Amino acid sequence: MTSFSKVITHDTSFHADDVIAVALLRHAGYDFELIRTRNPQILADAVADSSTLILDVGGSYDPAKLNFDHHQDMELSSAAGLVYEHFKDEICPAEAQVFFSRFIASIDAMDTNRDNIFDLWATLPKGFRNTSGLIGGFNREVTDADLQYSQFEKAAAFALEIIRNEIYKSVKKAKSEAEYNDRMILDNNVAVFEQFSTVWKEKKEHTFAILPHANGWRIQTVDTNIAKVPENIADLDGFVFRHASGFMAVVKDKSVVVDFAQTL
């Protein structure tokens, strides 16, 4: 692992990218002193010191010296993206990185207004919040350095849980992608999965799918605007329940639900 004992980022208001970057490093297992400052001498010394990691401040992007600022180059990712790119093999399993990187890209987009995302954001309901907004909500009085440090740490703890959730989902999605090609396909194009799939709807290759469920086997539609699980599934032996919307139903035995699916 890379060796450093201090991480420096800017003081006053914090944003998702610096908070996420710190949380990514902690998720990777690094233990360090966190310093929040814009003191020019401290920053100058840190930029030159390869044993101090500096992010989102300092005016330098030089991974070899652990400098991860992006403000001097509009083409760079945010601090979160720069830190993730450098440490990604310590943060996320290789097979899941393609999916977890989408989460990091969303932080980059909101921090740098990538692809004019602020214009898109303006079209959403005013009460809508994303990860960046929720993390930014931890800010308090920027003139109170001690309070802001405490709030930054709360935000970083919150971000760490989000990162763990996103990595879990990314690993699960990678597994589902790998298992997708192992599905059985009935004559009427209903897909049957031995493991719960999180990606089959995205593929848009099947109207219905059969998947394992805690109470047996579920049959599910890709979209209730396209098709619904018929109400007569309630007549089957081992019927457990059908969602009122018709998007899914559960039957105890796999063979029973497969036979039913072949009639759709």
What is the rounded radius of gyration, in angstroms, for the C-alpha atoms of the chain? 24
Mean pLDDT score of the chain:
96
Q: What is the mean pLDDT of residues 215-233?
A: 96
Domains in the chain: boundaries = 6-176, 184-261
Measured distance CA(28)–CA(21) in Å, rounded: 11
Q: Please say whether the beta carbons of 4 and 52 come within 8 A.
A: yes
CA distances, 95 to each of 20, 88, 179, 216 (Å): 21, 11, 13, 30
191-215 residue pLDDT tens: 999 988 889 999 999 999 999 999 9
pLDDT at 63: 96
Burial 88-115 (b: 16+ CB within 10 A, else e): beebbeeebbebbbebbbbbbbbbbebe
**For residue range 138-161, what is the model confidence (pLDDT) as tens digits?**
999 999 999 999 999 999 999 999
Task: Tokens for 9, please give them.
Answer: 């980022």
**By percentage, how much of the chain surpasses pLDDT 70?**
100
**Helix (H) and strand (E) counts for the chain?**
9, 11
Q: What is the pLDDT of residue 147?
A: 97
